[in-house]
Each structure stands twice: as structure tokens, then as C-alpha cells.
Amino acid sequence: MIKPSVEKNVRISNLIDIRKLTNSAFVLRFEKHDLSFTAGQHIALGIPDIIDTREYSIYSAENDEAMEVLIKEVEEGFMSPKFGKLVVGQKVKVMKPVGYFTINKDYLQSKRFVFIASGTGIAPFHSIIKSYPDINYSILHGIRTSEEAYERNEYTAGKYIACTSRDKNGDFHGRVTDYLQQNSIDTQAIYYLCGNYEMIDEAYGILEKAGVKPENLKAEVYF
């Protein structure tokens, strides 16, 4: 029997681990099967018997044995609270990785990368840095409080800057856009922006005005 073509792109994976990072954020680790990907790509993730899926950036590195995503439960959201209630051994539906929010391999050695994220928008950058630890990078992470600096010890000291808007326990008190306005901007770097639309729109405007060329500005909007 020929299976419907959509099934060719779906894998049913066992959940291997759930890492609680905060009261509302967690990392799901599940079987990867034969799904290869380029760091920066995302998957659609579902739960068997539920039609809806949601997109999540891949958090783990290209060569990890398993695949991980970083999810924050959205209050009143339909799927993210359901993912938060899963337990190890349950199954998830994983669609084939897609997306172009990736790094041009020709630039890995020669360019400086500035990764700008809000909240879980740090996920693709975690994957990129874990996959290519030798790249020249810095991360600006916009979060409300320092507890949302998800697994910051995974990044090289001094390269990760937590911009906290609601407490002073980060590296900079204020939003990432405040940081950009108060610090010099490297106009030769390549900028990747990921997270909520308002942050991306504002940061994009600041960077473009400072002289960063549009071809060196890449964005992935979550919501």
C-alpha cells in the first residue's frame, strides 16, 4: 500500500527526557530517527491523535544523537501546555526540519555573528553554537528576569549578554533594543534576529539605521 505522501515527512518519536528550566520553560528531548537538519532550522511538532502541530526551532546540535526543542508554555495556548504535560516514554510527532534561518557555511570562519533573541528565540542560536563552537559570535538575549537566561552556561563567558527588562540580575538592565541604542554597533557583522515581532521590527530598524546592510540582517518571527 502506498502511504500518503504527508507521512513520508512525519516520524513518531519516543520522548527521552524533559528538562525543566523554569516554571514555564522546558527542553523536550526525543528520538531523531533519520532526520538530519541544518542548525537554525525548525520542525513542526505534534502529539499523536491531536491534529494540530506547532513549529519549534531545533535546540540541539546537528550531530547530537537525539533532537531537542526549547518550549515556553503560553498561558491559554492550545499546544504548548500539552507539550508541558508529556512524560518520558510518551510519543511525539516530528515533521521534517525546514527553514532558511541558517548560516552560510562559507562565512563560518570569516565573519562575526551577532545573535539577537527574545525569550525562546535563543533556541536556533543554541543549535548553531553547539554545532559550530568555533564561530565568532555574541548573543543578546532579551528576557524579563534572569531566570529566563536558559542554560547560559552553555555559551562562552562574555559572549552571552542577558538583557533583563524586569530585574537587574542580568548583564544589562533594559531591552535588547535599549542595549543596541546604548552600545556601538559592528556594521560588518551578520545579524540574526529571532523571537517576537515587535523586538525584531525595532531591532531591525536600529541596525539598518546604523548602517548594517539588509543582506546581513536575517530574521525569524515566532509570533
Q: Can you give the binding site for ligand FAD, defined by CB under 6 A?
A: 42, 54-57, 69-72, 74, 77-80, 119-120, 123, 220, 222-223
Nearer to ligand FAD, 127 or 216 (CB): 127
Cβ at position 77, least distance to ligand FAD in Å: 2
3-state DSSP call for residue 162? strand
Rounded to a whole number of angstroms, the minimum distance from the CB of residue 71 to ligand FAD is: 4
Q: Provide the minimum distance between the beta carbon of 75 and ligand FAD in the complex, in angstroms, as a whole number.
A: 8
- Show the cell assigned to 175: 531591552
Q: What does the alpha-carbon distance between residue 66 and residue 212 come to, in Å, rounded to a whole number?
A: 37
With respect to ligand FAD, which residue has the nearer C-beta, 74 or 86? Answer: 74
Nearer to ligand FAD by Cβ, of 114 and 199: the residue is 199
Whole-angstrom Cα distance, residue 8 to residue 25? 30
3-state secondary structure (DSSP) of residue 148: helix
Shortest separation between residue 171's beta carbon and ligand FAD, angstroms = 22
Which residue type is seen at 9?
A: N
| H or E stretch covering 80 | helix 80-84
| Minimum CB distance to ligand FAD smaller for 44 or for 185 | 44
128 closest CA partner among 105, 161, 148, 157: 105
